[in-house]
Amino acid sequence: MRSNYLPLPSDLKWRRVVAVVLFVGILYGLRELAPVFICFVVLVRALTLAADFLHDRTGLERRGGVASILLAAVAALGTGIFLGVRALLPWVHEIRSDGREYAEHLLEHPMVGRLRHLAGSEDGGGGAAETIKAHAMQALHYATSFAHLALYLLIGFVLSVIYLFERDEIDHWLRGLAPESVSGTMTRWLGYVGDAIAITVKMQGVTALVNAVITFPVLLALGLPHKGMLFVLILVSGLLPVVGNFIAGAVLCVVAYETRGAWAVGVMLAVTFVLHKIESYYLTPRLAAQHVKLPGLVLVLSLLAFEEIFGFVGLFLSFPALYIATRIHREWAKEDDETAAAAAPVKS
């Protein structure tokens, strides 16, 4: 980072300290936009891989491949919406024609009576009104949060499409930035953040797939119902580091108890315990070691420390933080080697 472009102290250590503080400040200031950046990184990497695959198979240029993939995705989404609306139309017509009878039949359902009792509607309806109001406010809060997340994801999608279609021009502009300037340094380090996100998603995807593949034969052996839905549950929950395995295990234990009894719960507990050990002490450290050259014990301790400091979110921050730190340290080590080589006396 020796450059006149950096308005930083001339001393090497202080320049690095100020650069790190500035970088952390940028990350903290833009933390609310994390879903946008994550969506952007994941979509850019996924669409790039798909476009490269099409290019290798058909010779189609990258922009044409991206356009073809997006058109296919839009067509699939439109077809799904059309089929869904078509499937709902008979139910809507039935509600419109027999709505009163349907509502009366629903009110006579035993579950509705139990809900009335729990809500306190038997003593004047005041308890029911307060309960409904509380649930409505909570539902509104969840809906607002989901709307914000959906908006961020949409922005990330739009940005990823724009970047992919203007990738050559943007990359040319980025290469024009002075590597040791503030803009060049921050852009390069933000690139490390993008790499960390992509690697983390890939690692958790591999972990989730391994958990699902190992657990699915157990589901078949126990004869549990809804195996497809449980398989999807294991895949989705496996994307959560550490705790995802326990979430899926808790659901599987409930299903196993209702289907086969207490002995099946013991089987699922054993499977959950084994999978947790495989993920924590073998799979995750080995996958992480491909990108971060640190002992497995350090990775586990980092995970525990980040969870203690940042709570549940810390489970997702541990590996990216280590990865970014190692990349910056590697950059500084290379700079130190170049400085030492330049300062060494020339042998005659």
DSSP letter for each residue of 206-256? HHHHHHHHHHHHHHHHHT-S-HHHHHHHHHHHTTSTTHHHHHHHHHHHHHH
Terminal CA-CA length for the chain: 30
Q: Which residue has the tokens 């541990």?
A: 318
CB atoms inside a 10 Å sphere around CB 17: 13
| pLDDT at 113 (0 to 100) | 62
pTM over 0.75: no
Cα–Cα distance, 342 to 334 (Å, whole number): 12
The tens digit of pLDDT for each residue in 301-325 reads: 887 888 788 887 787 888 889 899 9
Cα–Cα distance, 75 to 64 (Å, whole number): 16
Output the six-digit token pair for 97: 């024609």
| pLDDT at 347 (0 to 100) | 58
Regions of the chain short of the pLDDT cut 50: 1-6, 121-125
Q: Which residue has the tokens 């356009």?
A: 67
The tens digit of pLDDT for each residue in 50-92 reads: 888 888 888 888 788 888 888 888 888 888 888 878 777 777 6
Buried b (16+ CB within 10 A) or exposed e, 193-222: bbbbbbbbbebbeebbeebbeebeebbeeb
CB atoms inside a 10 Å sphere around CB 241: 23
| pLDDT at 5 (0 to 100) | 47
Output the six-digit token pair for 277: 């050990």
Domain spans of the chain?
180-336
CB atoms inside a 10 Å sphere around CB 12: 15
Phi, psi of 260 (to 5 degrees): -120, -15
Q: What does DSSP assign to residue 346?
A: P
Q: Which amino acid is at 60?
A: L
Q: What residues contact residue 306 under an 8 Å CB cut-off, 6+ apart?
A: 314, 315, 317, 318, 321
What is the torsional sign of CA 56, 62, 68, 72? positive
Cα–Cα distance, 309 to 306 (Å, whole number): 5
With vertex at residue 190, the alpha carbon angle to CA 173 and CA 13, rounded to the nearest 5 degrees, is 105
Length of the chain: 348
